[in-house]
Structure 1
Amino acid sequence: MRILVTGGTGLIGSALLKYWRYQHQITVLTRQPVARLQQTASLTYVNTLQQVDFNHLDAVVNLAGEPIANKRWTDKQKQRICDSRWQLTEQLSECIQAAKTPPTCLISGSAVGYYGRQGTEFICEEHSAFYPEFSHDICARWENLALRAGSDKTRVCLLRTGIVLSDQGGALAKMLPAFRFGLGGPIGNGQQYMSWIHIDDIVKLIDFLLQSPTLQGPFNAVAPKAVTNKQFSQALAERLNRPAKLTMPAFMVRLLFGEMADILLYGQRVVPQKALDAGFKFQYPKLPAALADLDL
């Protein structure tokens, strides 16, 4: 297939390109100077969408976006987070709509933050009660812009992604230093749920959606077994053979991170119901096996 990938140098995008490198003709939209990147017969880099002919694409995978938890949420940073998702997604939808023979599939990023903070209830894709906060606002508009590309020629799949577990960066890279020194532990009361997914499973889920022409709409890109923050802390500490007895009080989290503390103190117990119903098989459905596979 001929596929355009945005966010191809990010955590998920890099793993996806590696997985697809011998299977498809990939064009990657990047802000990096193209001359510095190693192109091959099956991998091309471009700096603008104007360099892409959407009439000759089979699919688009949209993973671009400013990392949501890298910096404190100042007004400027919140706008950067939004613009990096909304502007490109809107442009992609316009390009797909304008094509005479558009790609048959758009797989576009989102996050479980779409649901906002939730309690212990299981949350599937049909859940309709959302907590109105910044994470929901980002994802709701992000998804709506992607859905504009939908037509009888183009199906749209939305990836509501949880915490991606990888030894190449992401959330674990931020957690590991404290846990390695025995300073890790639950955040707040530790009862907030963390919905996570192994990097290999999210890559294979994207491929599964690409290869399944009847699938469309939102998909929770999380493992079937969400865990509480306390359970996650204990599992990570055991994987590293370290204690996890220290707790970071909620007031300290808010002092350090401001509004961004909400994504650490509250969570969602999300299940990948549509993926399971479609027959997708998770290689790492449980946390201990997922952590054991990673080079930590």
Structure 2
Amino acid sequence: MSRVVIGGSTGFIGRHLQDAYRAEGREVVTISRSGADLTWDDQPGIDAAVDGAGLVIGLAGKSVSCRYTPANRAEIFRSRLETTAALGTAIARASAPPPLWVNSSTATIYRHAEDRPMTEDDGELGTGFSVEVAKAWERALYERDLPHTRRVALRTAIVLGDAGVLGPLRRLARVGLGGTQLDGWWPVSRARREAGTAHDPGARGGRQRFSWIHVDDVLGIIDFLEQQPQLDGPVNASSPAPVDNRAFMAAVRRALGVRFGPPTPRWMLEIGALGIRTETELILKSRWALPAKLSAAGYTFRHPDLDEALRASFSEG
């Protein structure tokens, strides 16, 4: 079976994909900073792996679950752009270029949306640091002339599974802190506003939308893309049944058998985010994306129901 090259293979999604492809009997070549077949500074090795591959997947990038300091912001950009460029260089040099390159993007590219969902055709792009990262990432994917390789920017929602975002949420819920996460006023410095990292108050009462997808469907979508040559450009990798934060946290509690979780106001979230070195934007921005392209093409989601997806995720952990 055709070779799969996975860049960014040691993360949550990368590990899941490589295990699944190897179980199918496909040859898998992994690229990461460490713990993989190749490292990102080995361009000749990347060139050789990509030449003749059937599928290239780009997932690399520093986690955005960090404080948006100048150093971290620079590394978030660099880790995405340089690794995407390395894959693009390898494809451009290949005598037998891969027919499909799927590269990570994010549903965060869309604006804070409380009024309507965002699709690939009518979604409005937002502003701020996270959005600029996503825009630059997609530009890096498309900047080269690669006439023999179809390219898809996978605008992925929050990914559920046996790792990732559900790890800390499980711990919070089990100690009674799994309630609705409430937005509200919080002082913002001029420096953060100029850097685009400020989060202004948005949805009230935990009504910020929560678009999600199970990691099994990330794999399923990539498999589907291999069989659907008409699909290219941005593709929303998100469940067709998004919820709001209040409903999502209630579903987390149900899946864990936790009966109650008091709401958490923004001031508590900000203090907690500072303590664990992350940003409240990750839970307070209203992300409302629908998979219009996938639905129109006939993709069948493996985990379309949130309660079932959470039960599957927690049973794997």
Given the two structures, how large is their TM-score scaled by the length of structure 2? 0.84
Find the partner of 1:23 among 22, 25, 41: 25
Structure 2 residue 245 is matched with structure 1 residue 229 = yes
Is 195-204 or 208-217 further displaced after alignment? 208-217
Counting aligned pairs with the same residue, the percent is 30
Give me the whole-angstrom Cα distance separating, in 1, the residues matched to 2:261 and 2:273: 22
TM-score if structure 1 supplies the norm length?
0.90
C-alpha spacing 1:33/1:256, structure 2 compared with 1 (3 Å): closer
Matched, 1:119 2:111: no
What is the Cα deviation at residue 130 of structure 1?
2.0
Measured after TM superposition, the shift of residue 249 of structure 1 is: 1.2
Residue in structure 2 matching 1:134, options 124, 129, 133: 129
Q: Find the counterpart in structure 2 of residue 278 from structure 1.
A: 297
Match of 1:61 among 49, 53, 57: 57
In the alignment, is the contact (CA less than 8 A) between 2:213 and 2:238 conserved in 1? Answer: yes
Name structure 2 gaps, 5 residues minimum.
183-204
For 1:1-296, list aligned pairs within 5 A: 1-21=2-22, 22-32=24-34, 45-47=37-39, 48-52=42-46, 53=48, 54-69=50-65, 71-149=66-144, 151-167=146-162, 169-188=163-182, 189-257=205-273, 260-294=279-313, 295=315
Q: 1:81: how far off?
A: 1.3
RMSD between superposed Cα atoms in Å? 1.8
Residue 49 of structure 1: how far off its partner (Å) = 3.0
The answer (yes or no) to whether the contact 2:238–2:290 under 8 Å persists in 1 is: yes
Aligned mates of 2:27, 2:242 — CA distance in 1? 35
Shift of 1:255: 4.1
5+ unaligned residues in a row in structure 1: which ranges? 35-44
Q: Deviations over 1:233-280 (max 9, x none)?
A: 111111111134312212332344379222221122111110111111
Q: Indicate conservation of the 8 Å contact 2:173/2:261, yes or no.
A: no
2-structure distance, mates of 1:23, 1:204: 16
C-alpha distance in structure 2 between counterparts of 1:109 and 1:250, whole Å: 30
Distance 1:6 1:290 in 2: 26
Report the residue type matching 1:204 in the other structure: G
Q: How many residues align?
A: 284
Q: Which moved more, 1:73-82 or 1:237-246?
A: 237-246
1 or 2, which has the higher strand percentage? 1
Structure 2: distance between partners of 1:170 and 1:195: 15
CA distance in 2, matches of 1:240, 1:257: 23
C-alpha displacement at 1:163, in angstroms?
0.9
